[in-house]
Structure formats: C-alpha cells, structure tokens
Chains A and B, each alone.
Chain A
Amino acid sequence: MSKLGNLGARLHRGEISYDFVGHRMLWYGISILITITAIVGLAVRGLNMGIDFQGGAVFTTPKTSVSVAQAEEFAKDASDHEAVVQKLGSGGLRIQIAGMDTQKSDEVKTALAKDFKVDSEAINADLVGPSWGEQIANKAWQGLAIFMVLVVIYLAIAFEWRMAIAALIALIHDITITTGIYALVGFEVTPGTIIGLLTILGYSLYDTVVVFDSLKEQTKDITKQTRFTYSEIANQSINGTLVRSVNTTVVALLPVAGLLFIGGGFLGAGTLNDISLSLFVGLAAGAYSSIFIATPLVADLKEREPQMKALRKRVKAKRAQAVAEEELSATRPAPADAPEDAAPAVVGPRNQPASRNRGRGRPSGKRR
C-alpha cells in the first residue's frame, strides 16, 4: 500500500502527473477509432436480437425424460440459436428459439422430434410475437430522450453548458462502444442487455459528474490567478481524482468481471454473459471516457472562451516575466504544484477563498 499511498500523495501534490489534457488528441483519436470500429461492427454484423424483441418459435414437447440442459443442446444444434428451455407442469418442455419463420420452425421441429425420439406431430410448434413489444421500446426511447434533455439542463445549471455537452458526448461514446462490441461478439440481445445498457448510461454520467465536480471546485477562482491556464488546472484536477477513479472502477468492475470471466468462462453460466459483457465494457468505457474524453473536451471548449484566452495570455506573459526575474521564484518550480497551492502565492492575501480548503489563512505566522 505504501507505494500506492505514495503515488496518491504524489498525484495529490502534483509531483507526478500524466498530461491527460495535453495528450488529448491521442485519446480522441483512439476513441474515434474504437467508435468507428463499433459503428462498423454495428453496420456490418448488426445486432442479434433475441426472442423478446423479434419473436420466434415456441416448441412444446410431450412428457419427456430429456433434461433441460440436453434440450438446450439439441435446440442449439437444430437451430444455431441460443434456446430458452423451461420445464412445464405437465412434465414436457417448452423450448423458445428466436428468429424463426414457419419454414424454419418446421425444420427445427423435425430435428427436435428426432432428438427427442418422438413423433414430430407430438411436438407442438407455434410462432410467438415479441414480449418486448414496440410499445415498450418506444416508451423506453421516449424516456431516454426526456432524461437526456433534463440531465443536460441539470448539468448546465449545476455546472455549465460546456460540461453538459462533454458529459453527453462521453455518454454517447460509451453507449456506442458497448453496443458495437456487442454486435462484434454476436451475443443475442435480450432485455437484460438493454437493462445493462441503461445501467451503463447511469454509471457513465455518474462517473463523469464526480470528475466534473472536482474540476468545478478547482477552477472556481481561475480568473483571479495567472499561474495556470484552464487546461492545466483541468489536468491537475483529473490527476487529483485519479486515485478515486481507479479505486471506484476496480470496485465496480471486479464483481462484473467475476460474472463475466469466472461465471461465463469457467463455470459456464452462459446466459449471464450477455449482461455481464455489456456491463463490463460499459463500466470500463464509462470510467475511461470521464477522464480521457469528457474533461479534455471541457478544457477544449473552455479555452475558446475569451476570458480563458485572456487568462492564457496573462499566464504566458507571467511565465515570460518569471523567466526574466528568475531570482524571485527560483525557490521552487512552479508548474509542478497544485493550483490551490499556487493561487495565493500569486495573488496574495486578497485571494483567500482559493486557499480556504487548506485553512492556511489562520496560522498566518507560519507563512514565510
């Protein structure tokens, strides 16, 4: 821990930091690449919609000694689709397979009859409609649209519109990647997948907001100092919350990873795969986008503001001056410090609010 703890401390003091904002073009590029892959995947392979969305066929067998697991195998062999098998009160089985038309269902029926060693007439086949009908889907879209509008309004009020837009872009980024990977892997989309995507949506925003909250706090009095530009402070803010981001992501991902890799991989809990995959990819993307996409985007947008441009000029001028009058600030290399530490030094006692968190104002005698 001590190593990790030190890392946290050094991140906190800005002794070490990764220049997220400075390298943003690299990460934008990577994200765009992944997103394009995802979109291509979606376009080429499409989503493999499950029985709940597109309907399918239901086969009802007479009383049988075939086990549910065996029946699943049979059905999969006969149809090339994952089948849902349930035991009925009568002792028979109900087998549901997605994406069947009449002809296909007849073929499967014949194949199943052979596997079950019964007459094909004994198996009852019926086409079923989707249980997740258009209405549910439409309402879900409607709900999502309303939520997006509200959340943008909320973020615009609680933070500012630039952060709202960045959060929205990060959200779309996460959802696209998750859906794209889903298409590439080819798992069947079930209602569980959709629920998983919605969970991602909530988590992605949540995570972004946590990061933005710290950003907002650190850039509160930004125009009152001339030591750092907005981008630099944004970068320090990311580094300051990095430990939290990593810890939260690990804690959120571990149980899902357990489900996906141990449950799905070793123990063969096949039907859990669809949900845990969408959760795993989505959670990872959500954590990634908050840091690598959303915050740099805010910095990009902010730097276009006249105020921030002016600040950037002042900072540059100040630095040029500092180089000239080296003897004054030679004690310490300034850019390595956290913004709060730096702010009072530049602006002097007038700027107490910036240092309020440290309570450094009180023991004034301690100042050198």
Chain B
Amino acid sequence: MAAPKKGRNASPQSKPGRSLALILIAIVALTGGMFASGHTTPRLGIDLAGGTSITLQAKADQGSAINKANMDTAVEIMNRRVNGLGVSEAEVQTQGTSNIIVNIPKGTNSEEARQQVGTTAKLYFRPVLASEPSGAAASPSASPSSSSSGGASPSPSGSASAEEKASSSSASPSSSATSQGRAVTDALKADATPSATSSAADSASPSASGGTGSSGNKLEDQYAKLDCSKSADRATAGKTAKPSESTVACGDIGGAWYKYMLGPAAVDGTEVKKAQAVFDTQTASGWQVQMNFSSTGAKKFADITGQLAKNSTPQNQFGIVLDGEVVSSPYVSQSISGGQAEISGSFTQEEAQSLANMLSYGALPLSFKEQSVTTVTAALGGEQLHAGLVAGAIGLALVVVYLVAYYRGLALVALASLLVSAALTYVIMSLLGPTIGFALNLPAVCGAIVAIGITADSFIVFFERVRDEIREGRSLRPAVERGWPRARRTILVSDFVSFLAAAVLFVVTVGKVQGFAFTLGLTTVLDVVVVFFFTKPLMTILARRKFFAQGHKWSGLDPKSLGAKPPLRRTRRPAGPAAGSVDPKEA
C-alpha cells in the first residue's frame, strides 16, 4: 500500500513529493548507470571471489642486499601501489626470505597490477656527459615541435637553438622538463637534440667527478659499444649502476633511441615529496608528471641546475633516469629554485598516473622478477559464504518481523527506507568497482550488516519522537513536523561521529582499515541522505492519510495504544490542533 500512495500524493503538495521524486530519480539514474556500465554486481574481494596471485622474487643488485628490512619496505610500497585508496582489497606479503606474494582480486586489471608491483621506480637526476642517437632505428621523428617549456616565456636563445636544431636535424625532442616555479618557467628547455659530442667523462663531468680515470675510460668504452636499438643492450645498460657512479643509459626520446653517458646522480627520486599526473593544457603536449621536491631535494636541484646552466650543450642537460632508462633529458639555462619540476615524455594518462603514483610512494629498495602467476579460489569456501548469506537473511527476516510487530504500519516506512538505503548502497558499490577499484570483502559485508542497525536507528529515533508527540496529545501531522527537528538534530549529531571516524581513518590509515573507513563513510552519508530525502517526506505524506492520521489500530500510531492521555479525548477530538492539557497536575 505504500506504492500507490507515493504516486498519488506526490502531486498535491510539492515539497515532500519533490524530495521523494528526487531520490527515486537518483536511484533510477544510478541503477541505469550501473546497467549501462555493465557492472551490475559489486566487485568482490579476494576472500569472497578469489583472484590472481603473483609471486615475485627479489634480485640482489644495485648494491642493496636482500634482507628483512628491505623486503618489508618493498611490501609496504607495493601495497600502497596496488591499494593506494585501500579499497581494492589487494594483499601483499612476504614469502620465505626473498619472495613477495601479491594477491589481486578477480576482475582487477592484473596486467596493470603486475606492472605496478614489479617496477622498481628508482629515479635519479643525473647530469648528461654525452648523448647521441643510437643505432639505425633512430628514425626521423615526425613531430618536431614538442620542445616547449610550458609556453610561458621561452628563453630566446634556448628556443631558437632548439628550433633550429629540430628543423635541421633528423631527430627531434619530444620531452621537456619545465620548472613549475612561476619565475623560472623558462629555465629548462627540453633539448634531446643529439649532439654527437664524445667528450671524455672526466673533463665533462659538471659536478663531482664521476670516477677515476680508469672507470671513466671503461665508461667511454661502454658508451661507444652501446647500441640502444638492440633490446639486449637496453636490458643491461645502466640497470645496475650505483647512484654514486657514472653510467651509460638508453632513452626513448620521441620514438627514437638515444644513448647517454651520465654522471653520478645529483638528486635522488626519494627527494620527491609528491608527484601527480597532469594534463598540460597550455601546450597540449600531453600528460606530464609534476614533482614537488623536499626541501633538501629542492636545494640539491637548484645547485645542480645552477652548475649545469654554466656548461655548453650537451653538458647543460640532465637526464631523468627511471630504472636505468632515460625518460627525459631537458637542458638548463639557469638555476631552478622553487622545488618543483616536471617530467614530460610521450605518456599516456595511465602511464603518467602510474609513474606519479610510484614516485609518490617511493622506489622499491630491491628489484623483482616475476616468478609465477596463478589463479586462486576464494579463501572463504563457497558453502560457508552460502551459509553466511542464509543466516544473514534469516536475521534480516527477524528484523522485519520485529519491526512489523512493534511499529505495525510504520514498519512499512522503515522497511521502504531500508530498501532504498540498500538499493543505493548496492548500486554505488557496484559503480565504484570499475571507477576506483572498490572491492567488497567479508568485513565490508559485515560492516554493511551493522549499518542496517545504524540506518534503522535513524528511523527509530524519528518514530519515537513522533510517538512522543502523539502521547502529548498532538495529532499526527503536527507531531511529525514537531518531532522531525529534534530527531534530525539527534541523527546529525550522532552520524557526524561515525563520519568523523570514517574520515580520519580513511585519511590516516592504509590497506584494509582504509577500505573499512570508506564503507563506513559511505553508509553513514547514505543514512543521512535516506532519512532526509526519503523517510521524512514519506512520513509527511503518510501523515495525511486517514489510515495513519486517525490512528488506525494497525498504523502503529494509535493514540490509545500509545497511551495518549485520556483527558485529551474527553475534552476535545484527538485530531484537533490544540494540544489540550496533557498533564492536569500543572495546577
């Protein structure tokens, strides 16, 4: 009997009807969106649905040993990479002494996840000692224009030379790094234009000398032999370099391979405090990664760029080296202070975001090799889950029975509100699966069950207020309107506490606790939304129905059974607006 009522009463008075219409439209729209997106069920966590298990083996190189501390750090960093928001339910743990297991729930993009956990993400800023195109594959690039530096105020000499070279030479730069400090936007110019300088390492090194003469010679030999068009060479070049030593490296600049001879690292990727992917709208050069340095990093960066600016090409460039590969090699025309820089390469959005993610969360102290990838079934047996669902359903049925027995007609309002709340939760969780990787695990399901209690409490607080008003001798409509502000305050004050818990835990914690905080916050907000936009308007409308307003025995609002004072009916009709004297003792 609730359904026709809604329809018929929506029109006569607009206000409650409008709220009801609003929330129904929202449900329909969200449901439509859910079906349109094709994700009609929430993504389930690994404990409920199983997933993929990746085993990674640590490789001892780059001067760091495989020990417990390094492994634990690696686990933490991987965890944050695959579970940045804490809602994806991925699990990372060590196995044995040198393995790490990463469990990813079904339905996650496991390719992407494998890349995320496996990438070391060691980032260094190294001064360029020499660079040139490498191998025949260095084909002329068709896009010679991307050397811009944010377009604010290009330094005349820099841009001129870049353009000249770009037009005259076959290869072209496609990467740039510009300082984000407003005053120094022109300080960096991308200049990947190869200059076939083969300067000796020791004479060229702009900062501290890269090594002894012998190592410098060895480096030159390596550099001469290096052919970056060969994947075998690329796989080894510079991958094992220590940050304190000079090295050679390859870089894919604008679709062509370049080889570099690089000095010792001047700034470490760990000095990056925060990184984020941005789309460069000014020059439309695509996705970039913006970095903020820590204070020491900013100082180091200012020093090195100041030194480099004094040199001539190519020694005024520095290479941004990620996992032994040069991703960008901008040149410097003046010292860059301000502690900001950006990397632009030919990134797609995902690449830029994943790089920013890795820079923010730090580099792995070890590098890893994928050892095995296998599917696993749910940790929670299917029959157990089934039993749990049946038990939960029985519990819910008991709730319905209790509500109907106690609140009678009002139970319809409570149940309809619970249904609306459940529908909204379900749809939103389903939609959050593909958008932010939200996965529902067993604790979240239990959290949702407790949320039933908290949501129902809002109605119960409201109903009890209304019934108190009726006991005072008020008729239903004024009772609803007078009971609501008081119930509303209680609901808001108490839900705020829940929301505070959710917000703090979400911001501060990581992993599953964060996921829990998200679920709690979501259900709390939905509770408020449902009470304000559904329960209250529905009560307002129902209060006009004879069945409720006259306090039918089955409406749950019968003044007699609620124990409204008899003097009331003796002196005046119960529906009368005047409250009457409830407590005659007020002499």
Residues of A within 8 A of B (CB): 1-2, 4-6, 8-10, 12-13, 55, 58, 68-69, 72, 84-90, 94, 126-136, 139-140, 142-144, 146-147, 150-151, 154-155, 158, 191-192, 194-196, 198-199, 201-203, 205-207, 209-210, 213-214, 217, 240-241, 243-244, 247-259, 262-264, 267-272, 275-276, 279, 283, 331-332, 337, 341, 344-345, 357-360, 362-363, 366-368
Chain B 436-458 interface residues, beta-carbon cutoff 8 Å to A: 442-444, 446-447, 449-450, 452-454, 456-457
26 contacts between A and B (CB under 8 A): A12-B471, A69-B381, A135-B79, A135-B510, A140-B509, A143-B509, A144-B505, A154-B497, A154-B500, A158-B493, A194-B513, A195-B446, A213-B494, A252-B450, A254-B398, A255-B396, A255-B398, A259-B391, A259-B395, A268-B384, A283-B450, A341-B583, A345-B585, A360-B586, A366-B579, A368-B581
| A245 nearest CB across to chain B (Å) | 9
Q: Are A68 and B406 neighbours in the complex by a CB distance under 8 Å?
A: no
Partner of B587, one of A69, A243, A345: A345
A255 / chain B contacts, CB cutoff of 8 Å: 392, 395-396, 398-399, 449, 452-453
Partner of A210, one of B376, B405, B494: B494
Q: Are B450 and A263 neighbours in the complex by a CB distance under 8 Å?
A: no
> What is the predominant secondary structure among interface residues of chain B facing chain A?
helix
Q: Are A89 and B375 neighbours in the complex by a CB distance under 8 Å?
A: yes
Partner of A344, one of B449, B507, B586: B586
- Say yes or no for B112: interface residue by CB 8 A criterion: no
Q: Are A205 and B497 neighbours in the complex by a CB distance under 8 Å?
A: yes
Q: Are B579 and A248 neighbours in the complex by a CB distance under 8 Å?
A: no
Partner of A88, one of B375, B394, B453, B587: B375
Closest to A142 in B: B508
Q: How far is the CA of A147 from the CA of B504 in the complex (A)?
A: 6
Rank and list the top 7 A-B pairs by shortest CB-CB distance, nearest first. Answer: A252-B453, A258-B395, A9-B563, A263-B391, A129-B94, A267-B387, A255-B395
| B575-587 vs A, Cβ < 8 Å mask (1 yes, 0 no) | 0001111111111
Q: How far is the CA of A251 from the CA of B72 in the complex (A)?
A: 43
Partner of B453, one of A8, A251, A271: A251
| A166 nearest CB across to chain B (Å) | 14
B390 / chain A contacts, CB cutoff of 8 Å: 262-263, 267
A150 / chain B contacts, CB cutoff of 8 Å: 500, 504
| B461-475 vs A, Cβ < 8 Å mask (1 yes, 0 no) | 100100110011010
Q: Are B93 and A203 neighbours in the complex by a CB distance under 8 Å?
A: no
- Say yes or no for B490: interface residue by CB 8 A criterion: yes
B449 / chain A contacts, CB cutoff of 8 Å: 255-256, 259, 279
Q: Are B387 and A341 neighbours in the complex by a CB distance under 8 Å?
A: no
- Say yes or no for B23: interface residue by CB 8 A criterion: no
| B88-107 vs A, Cβ < 8 Å mask (1 yes, 0 no) | 00011111100101010000
Q: Are A357 and B486 neighbours in the complex by a CB distance under 8 Å?
A: yes
**A203-B453, A210-B457, A267-B391 known; A250-B467 Cβ under 8 A:** no
B388 / chain A contacts, CB cutoff of 8 Å: 259, 263, 267, 269, 272
- Say yes or no for B17: interface residue by CB 8 A criterion: no
Closest to B490 in A: A213
Q: How far is the CA of A256 from the CA of B394 in the complex (A)?
A: 10
| A343 nearest CB across to chain B (Å) | 10
Q: Are B513 and A363 neighbours in the complex by a CB distance under 8 Å?
A: no
A258 / chain B contacts, CB cutoff of 8 Å: 391-396, 398
Q: Are A363 and B578 neighbours in the complex by a CB distance under 8 Å?
A: yes
**Total number of residue pairs linking A and B with CB closer than 8 Å:** 335
Q: Are A363 and B580 neighbours in the complex by a CB distance under 8 Å?
A: yes
Partner of B579, one of A88, A254, A363: A363
Q: Are B93 and A129 neighbours in the complex by a CB distance under 8 Å?
A: yes
Q: How far is the CA of A139 from the CA of B517 in the complex (A)?
A: 13
B511 / chain A contacts, CB cutoff of 8 Å: 132, 136, 139
A264 / chain B contacts, CB cutoff of 8 Å: 391
Extra 15 A-B pairs, beta carbons < 8 Å, given A133-B76, A272-B391, A337-B585: A1-B561, A8-B563, A12-B468, A139-B509, A142-B509, A195-B512, A206-B457, A252-B454, A256-B449, A263-B388, A263-B392, A269-B391, A283-B450, A360-B586, A368-B587
- Say yes or no for B380: interface residue by CB 8 A criterion: yes
Closest to A60 in B: B374
Q: Are B394 and A262 neighbours in the complex by a CB distance under 8 Å?
A: yes
Q: Are A198 and B394 neighbours in the complex by a CB distance under 8 Å?
A: no
B79 / chain A contacts, CB cutoff of 8 Å: 133, 135-136
Q: Are B456 and A251 neighbours in the complex by a CB distance under 8 Å?
A: yes
Q: Are A367 and B581 neighbours in the complex by a CB distance under 8 Å?
A: yes
Q: Are A251 and B452 neighbours in the complex by a CB distance under 8 Å?
A: yes
Q: How far is the CA of A114 from the CA of B98 in the complex (A)?
A: 29
| B277 nearest CB across to chain A (Å) | 25
B425 / chain A contacts, CB cutoff of 8 Å: none
Chain B 498-520 interface residues, beta-carbon cutoff 8 Å to A: 498, 500-502, 504-505, 507-513, 516-517, 520
Q: How far is the CA of A146 from the CA of B378 in the complex (A)?
A: 35
A213 / chain B contacts, CB cutoff of 8 Å: 489-490, 493-494
- Say yes or no for B335: interface residue by CB 8 A criterion: no
Q: How far is the CA of A358 from the CA of B453 in the complex (A)?
A: 30
B95 / chain A contacts, CB cutoff of 8 Å: 58, 126-129
B394 / chain A contacts, CB cutoff of 8 Å: 258, 262
Q: How far is the CA of A2 from the CA of B564 in the complex (A)?
A: 12
| B540 nearest CB across to chain A (Å) | 19
| B105 nearest CB across to chain A (Å) | 13
Partner of A202, one of B94, B398, B501, B580: B501
Q: How far is the CA of A350 from the CA of B142 in the complex (A)?
A: 88
B76 / chain A contacts, CB cutoff of 8 Å: 133, 135
| B89 nearest CB across to chain A (Å) | 10
A267 / chain B contacts, CB cutoff of 8 Å: 387-388, 390-391
| B60-96 vs A, Cβ < 8 Å mask (1 yes, 0 no) | 0000000000011001100100000000000111111
A1 / chain B contacts, CB cutoff of 8 Å: 405-406, 408, 556, 561
B490 / chain A contacts, CB cutoff of 8 Å: 210, 213-214
| A178 nearest CB across to chain B (Å) | 13
| B85 nearest CB across to chain A (Å) | 14
| A236 nearest CB across to chain B (Å) | 13
A139 / chain B contacts, CB cutoff of 8 Å: 508-511, 513
Closest to A131 in B: B93
| A360 nearest CB across to chain B (Å) | 6
| B90 nearest CB across to chain A (Å) | 10
- Say yes or no for B496: interface residue by CB 8 A criterion: yes
Closest to B565 in A: A13
Q: How far is the CA of A272 from the CA of B387 in the complex (A)?
A: 9
| B557 nearest CB across to chain A (Å) | 10
| A132 nearest CB across to chain B (Å) | 7
| A80 nearest CB across to chain B (Å) | 20
Q: How far is the CA of A61 from the CA of B184 in the complex (A)?
A: 61
B136 / chain A contacts, CB cutoff of 8 Å: none
Q: How far is the CA of A5 from the CA of B507 in the complex (A)?
A: 45
Closest to B584 in A: A368
- Say yes or no for B402: interface residue by CB 8 A criterion: yes
Q: Are B384 and A271 neighbours in the complex by a CB distance under 8 Å?
A: yes
- Say yes or no for B403: interface residue by CB 8 A criterion: yes
- Say yes or no for B50: interface residue by CB 8 A criterion: yes
**A128-B94, A263-B392 known; A198-B387 Cβ under 8 A:** no
- Say yes or no for B562: interface residue by CB 8 A criterion: yes
Chain B 118-173 interface residues, beta-carbon cutoff 8 Å to A: none
Q: How far is the CA of A6 from the CA of B520 in the complex (A)?
A: 36
Q: How far is the CA of A206 from the CA of B500 in the complex (A)?
A: 11
Q: Are A8 and B467 neighbours in the complex by a CB distance under 8 Å?
A: yes
Partner of A256, one of B387, B395, B403: B395
- Say yes or no for B242: interface residue by CB 8 A criterion: no
Closest to A58 in B: B95
Closest to A195 in B: B443
Q: How far is the CA of A319 from the CA of B184 in the complex (A)?
A: 81
Q: How far is the CA of A365 from the CA of B385 in the complex (A)?
A: 65
| A108 nearest CB across to chain B (Å) | 16
- Say yes or no for B377: interface residue by CB 8 A criterion: yes
Q: How far is the CA of A213 from the CA of B95 in the complex (A)?
A: 51
